Amino acid sequence: QVQLVESGGGLVQAGGSLRLSCAASGRRTSSSYAMGWFRQAPGKEREFVAAINWSSGSTFYADSVKGRFTISRDNTKNTVSLQMNNLKPEDTASYYCTATFRVGTRTSSNTYDYWGQGTQVTVSS
């Protein structure tokens, strides 16, 4: 099993910044895996935010966050982070860390098998 725990959410004004972190633990079934972030606001569908392939470092971003958000990994700490700058009210949502050992479309939630409990991000106008 893989356990994911997010942290770093909070309340900020539009234009502000937050840094989310996700700590991973558990047994790896493959040396190749990916981690990422999805978000979901009340009454809306879960949407892709960003992802990173662990070995290659290749990153993927939703068009809505390109240029504002940056995903990164720390091999020593087994964590993945999401630096969020120039936050907008539209970014308000519960953010979920996710991971997968499977190869697939990184922007699809169906690709991922493990999920954290979520951390709330609220951006006021």
Instruction: Judge whether residue 106 has pLDDT over 80.
Output: yes
Q: What is the pLDDT of residue 104?
A: 82
Per-residue pLDDT band for 6 (boundaries 50, 70, 90) equals very high
| pLDDT tens-digit readout, 82-101 | 999 999 999 999 999 999 98
Per-residue pLDDT band for 25 (boundaries 50, 70, 90) equals very high
Closest to 70 in 3D by CA, of 116, 36, 103, 104: 36
Q: What is the pLDDT of residue 1?
A: 77
For a pLDDT cut of 70, what percent of the chain falls above it? 100
Instruction: Judge whether residue 102 has pLDDT over 90.
Output: no
| pLDDT tens-digit readout, 32-69 | 889 999 999 999 999 999 999 998 999 999 999 999 99
Per-residue pLDDT band for 30 (boundaries 50, 70, 90) equals confident
